[in-house]
Structure 1
Amino acid sequence: GAEVGVDHLAACVVDLRGEVRARAVRHGTNRGRSPEPVAEELTALISQVVAEAEAQGLWPAGLAVAVPGLIARDGRTVVRAPNLDWHDTDLSALLPDEFGPAVDNEANFGALAELWLGEGTPQDFLHVSAEIGIGAAVVVDGRLLRGTRGFAGELGHVPVEPEGPACPCGGRGCLEQYAGEEAVLRAAGLTAGEGRVGLLATRAAEGDEAV
């Protein structure tokens, strides 16, 4: 599996029991970068974990790629990823084709992992993914509910204040602009960066009124 995050890239190999056998992460912003160099760096991480897996006698059979955005029904194209500023990008075409990469929204993959691997997971639930952006996935009767246009889980872009701050999606006052990681850090007087969430938690535990 692989992930394109706003502030990181990651790749891992998981065996049939769901155990992670190899992992690689690259920290650094991807916001505003062209898809091609991002895909090139992600491919390098994928090659690294595949080599580690093969050294353990494992032979990866497929590749799933998680992206923080709306994915077309073809399972290849990033229709829109506001926090990356990507539009109509055939991401699968930029990645190793020997694995037949399947691309989907990161919250959708998180929900499927919980559905298939979680203990005692109900057949109806809402999975919320909250990092820089806020995503969600809806599972009904054990199936992922995408909606007519694929927006069923876009919780972060639900307007909560019509005259609120502008959002990269083109709307105003989206939940993400109030409850996303960067918004929370900004409200506490902190800039985004590695370790900032931990600092925020420490300040909250110490009773900092700004937090």
Structure 2
Amino acid sequence: MPISERRSAGVLSELRERNLKTIIDVASRYQPISRTKISNLTGISKPTISKLVGSLINEGYLISAGKTSSGLGKRQELLSFNPGKAFVISVDVGLATTIVARVDLSMNVTDKCEIGTSESPEKFACELVDCISDLCDKGNELPSYLVISVPGLVRGDLRTAINVPLLHWTDLVLAELVESRLKLKGLDSPVMINNDAKLRVLAEVALKRDIPDDFANIVYALVKEGVGIGLFINGSIY
């Protein structure tokens, strides 16, 4: 294949992935939602919406959630995420206690457990993976992703805790440590970590909790054992 054709294919693939991510973000936030509303909110053309939404339906991620209420024009099909298609594991690391939750695609917590938070990274990882294994065994499934929220600074690769002062963790590659323990349990799922305040403001935006649609900038203050700040500015998390 000529270089120009390979570049064109690469650009189209990147555009498709970007559009797909945008559709997923919007559908997740506004579900149940019609194809027309997805197009209006994203600015993506209706033919592209139809194609990509059709792909998500065929793969079982989106399901029909009824029709729009009666009014002018034809009633439109509403779509929601299929909560049973996949799940993620959410881990909230606190000074004394760590909460581990199983979350479905409708952002509902379907199960959870708690462990004591050890300052020893090795001990913490082992106890965390035991808890995750118990949650996965109940459904005999693998999580699509595992997200760990930590009260400290996280490197941009979302793999390394630069500094978690309350637990005395410094330059800890926590994601890799947990992944290695997961594999010993037969759980091969990717792990990412991030700052707790950043993840909290992201969750607030995703769940629309008392946040008007026209709010472009949000400051979220998280007060626990310490104080953290999460910023949502023009669609980006800081």
Q: Same fold (TM over 0.5)?
A: yes
Q: 1:102 aligns with which of 188, 192, 195?
A: 192
Tell me the amino acid that sits aligned with residue 5 of structure 1.
Answer: G
Structure 1 residue 124, shift from structure 2 partner: 1.1
1:36 corresponds to = 122
Partner of 1:23: 112
Letter in 1 for 2:161: V
Task: Write out aligned runs for 1:64-143 (5 A).
Answer: 64-95=147-178, 96=182, 98-121=188-211, 122-143=215-236
What is the TM-score when the length of structure 1 is the normalising length? 0.62
Q: Is the 8 A contact 2:142 2:189 kept in 1?
A: no
Structure with greater helix share of residues: 2
Aligned counterpart, 1:11: 100
Runs of 4+ residues deviating >3 angstroms: none
Spell out the pairing of 1:128-167 with structure 2 (5 A cutoff).
128-145=221-238
Q: Which runs of 5+ in 1 are unaligned?
A: 146-211
- Distance in 2, matches of 1:129 and 1:90, equals 24
Q: Cα RMSD (Å) of the superposition?
A: 1.6
Which secondary structure state, in structure 1, belongs to the residue aligned with residue 230 of structure 2?
strand
Q: Cα offset for 1:88? A: 0.4
State whether residues 92 and 102 of structure 1, in contact with CA within 8 Å, keep that contact through their aligned partners in structure 2.
yes
- Work out whether residues 61 and 99 of structure 1, in 8 Å CA contact, stay in contact via their aligned partners in 2: yes
Higher strand share: 2
Give the residue type in structure 2 aligned to 1:100: P
SS across alignment from 2:145: coil
Equivalent-residue separation in structure 2 for 1:86 and 1:108 (angstroms): 19
Query: Normalization by structure 2: what TM-score?
Result: 0.55
Distance in 2 between the 1:71 and 1:41 partners?
22
* Distance across 2 between alignment mates of 1:143 and 1:72: 17
Partner of 1:2: 91
Q: Could you tell me how far apart the structure 2 residues matched to 1:12 and 1:29 are? A: 15
Identity percentage of aligned residues: 29
CA drift at 1:143 = 1.1
Q: Name which one, 1 or 2, has greater alpha-carbon Rg.
A: 2
Give unmatched runs, 5+ long, in structure 2. Answer: 1-89
